[in-house]
Structure 1
Amino acid sequence: MKVIAGLGNPTKKYEGTRHNMGFSAIYQIADRYNIKMNILNHKALIGTGIIAGEKVMLVMPQTFMNLSGESIGEILRYYKLTPEDLIVLYDDIDLDIGKLRIRAKGSAGGHNGIKNIIAHIGTTEFDRVRIGVGHKPEGRDLADYVLSRFSSEELPVVRDSVSKAADAIEVIITTGIDAAMNKFN
């Protein structure tokens, strides 16, 4: 089973913000594969289903971004899964809006949600799909920026990148992380 976790902040207040790109991608995947996000367990909203013949668990931690590892670590331990079974989707301010960057491992790169996951699972070796949300304008507060919404001009590009992130998940599951990196990076 693959655990596909999208990072974001719960509640309506944060819907559509840059920091919730992981949640947006999970909603896209759930819709595409007819997976109901209807289980509240392990501090997360969860849905289970099948993608390309593989059983998957879609996960949206409800702990708020900076504590995402609490939920993800608990899920991996409970189901006796390893970090190799984990794929994390999240926002990245170092990438232009609409760009994806797929990696099999790496540092947190300053992302507090990823830092917390690494702390809770004890490794940096898990697959990740970073979704570009644009660079923080100079002089703007980082928290204010990542909690802002996209402009109407940015929205079509954002929708396309979320769709591509869902495509990337299927490629990771069917042909592996290297194939996904070659196709989407």
Structure 2
Amino acid sequence: MTYDLARRTSPHRAYWLAVSEPVASGSDTWLVVGLGNPGPRYAGNRHNVGAMAIEQLAADAGTPLRQHKARAHAAELRIGTLAGGRPGPRAVVAVPMTYMNESGGPVSALMKFFKVTPERLVVVHDELDIDFGALRLKRGGGEGGHNGLRSISKSIGTKDYLRVRVGIGRPPGRMDPADYVLKDFSAAERKELEFVLPDTVDAVERVVHDGLTAAQNVVHAR
């Protein structure tokens, strides 16, 4: 499956095509979830970079995230464009409105509501064991102590879903990792996020359009 690389030249990366009609439920629908904690207190935290990426994605599409009964903010989109300018795959993008360690409930509810299979679930989350700004893609595996992933795996009954891992780096000195992830990005890191977040959106698109292996070959080579 191919998609329109030329549209990446937009400075606003507006290659996410919103749809006015509801996304049809069914096995062809993707669910892309960004993890974080709700409310302004946590909005700038490192732990919220997954949620930030989904907000970036929705902003690129010009489609606001709206409250969903699954205890999430969600939007229905087409992801990119296919060869010949046809709309890309159907997707629901969402941010759970629960705390991180309860992310599984909203994700499970969204999957049931939109009839999404685990194979078409993409979770975007922060990763301590990856340098800040680097991206890594994988399917399944352990949760690495990440409470959001642990909650999702337990709620949907499998670890076999796609992850877009956004590096936030290790805490300095002897700082407790639990404290580190709940601190805001530094001023320098916030400047870099202007590049990291669009790159994360791009990584999500590549996974959906080209499959995991092809996406890894591009994203991991950066």
Report the equivalent of 2:58.
Answer: 30
3-state DSSP of counterpart to 1:20: helix
For 1:71, which of 89, 106, 110 is the aligned residue? 106
TM-score, normalised relative to structure 2: 0.80
Deviation at 1:173, TM superposition (A): 1.6
Deviation at 1:144, TM superposition (A): 1.4
Deviation at 1:39, TM superposition (A): 2.9
For 2:142, which of 91, 102, 107 is the aligned residue? 107
Aligned residues: 185
Report the equivalent of 2:97.
Answer: 62
TM-score, normalised relative to structure 1: 0.96
Report the equivalent of 2:183.
Answer: 148
Report the equivalent of 2:218.
Answer: 183
5+ residue gaps, structure 2? 1-28, 81-87
Q: Kindly indicate whether residue 211 of structure 2 is the aligned counterpart of residue 166 of structure 1.
A: no
Deviation at 1:180, TM superposition (A): 1.2
3-state DSSP of counterpart to 1:155: helix
Contact 2:170 2:177 in 1 (8 A): no
Contact 1:97 1:157 in 2 (8 A): no
C-alpha RMSD over aligned residues: 1.1
3-state DSSP of counterpart to 2:184: coil
1:20-44 deviation digits (Å, cap 9, x = unpaired): 0011100111111222202332011
Bigger mean CA offset, 83-92 vs 131-140:
131-140
Report % sequence identity.
37
Deviation at 1:130, TM superposition (A): 0.5
Instruction: Give the whole-Å Cα distance in 1 for the aligned partners of 2:162 and 2:50.
Output: 14
For 2:160, which of 119, 125, 131 is the aligned residue? 125
Instruction: Give the whole-Å Cα distance in 2 for the aligned partners of 1:105 and 1:173.
Output: 16
3-state DSSP of counterpart to 2:56: helix
For 2:49, which of 16, 21, 24 is the aligned residue? 21
Instruction: Give the whole-Å Cα distance in 1 for the aligned partners of 2:174 and 2:194.
Output: 27
Report the equivalent of 1:2.
Answer: 30
Contact 2:75 2:93 in 1 (8 A): yes
For 1:90, which of 104, 107, 125 is the aligned residue? 125
Deviation at 1:80, TM superposition (A): 2.3
3-state DSSP of counterpart to 2:91: strand
Report the equivalent of 2:76.
Answer: 48
| Equivalent AA in structure 1 for residue 60 of structure 2 | R
5+ residue gaps, structure 1? none
Structure possessing the higher radius of gyration over alpha carbons: 2
